[in-house]
């Protein structure tokens, strides 16, 4: 399967459409429920996205023999649009610009460490299925 064919692009685009909408709705809901002092929505999305990437990539590459379009739809498309690393960077920079160095450092350390733990947890869960 060539990655540069129209079906691949449509599948990635469809996944990205739903991933971006999911990110927007979830981040907005979290911000409304718990406030915007700490970028909890982006933090949750990055950690849950890391878990899902670990889970799905292990399932798709080691456990099940699925059509490659499923990986394109869910991992490249949906999770590529769902996770928000660039937003994470912007919000961390904003915290620094606002003089909130401790919150910025907390955001960096927690996002990276818990994101990695979530990735490995997803991998382990997939191997146990």
Q: What is the pTM of this model?
A: 0.82
Give the pLDDT of residue 4: 76
Q: Is 112 left (phi over 0), alpha (psi -120 to 50) or beta?
A: alpha
Which DSSP letter does residue 3 get? T
pLDDT digits (tens, 9 = 90+) for 7-26: 999 999 999 999 999 999 99
pLDDT digits (tens, 9 = 90+) for 95-128: 999 999 999 999 999 999 999 999 999 999 999 9
* Cα three-residue angle 100-22-59, rounded to 5 degrees: 105
């Amino acid at each position: 399967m060539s990655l540069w064919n129209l079906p691949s692009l449509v599948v990635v685009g469809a996944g990205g459409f739903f991933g971006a909408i999911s990110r927007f709705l979830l981040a907005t809901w979290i911000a409304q429920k718990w406030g915007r002092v700490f970028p909890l929505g982006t933090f949750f999305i990055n950690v849950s996205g890391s878990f899902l990437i670990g889970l799905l990539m292990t399932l798709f590459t080691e456990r099940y023999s699925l059509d490659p379009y499923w990986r394109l739809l869910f991992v490249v498309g949906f999770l590529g649009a769902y996770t928000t690393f660039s937003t994470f960077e912007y919000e961390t920079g904003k915290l620094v610009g606002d003089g909130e160095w401790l919150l910025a450092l907390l955001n960096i350390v927690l996002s990276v460490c818990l994101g990695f733990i979530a990735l490995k947890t997803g991998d382990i869960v997939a191997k146990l299925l």
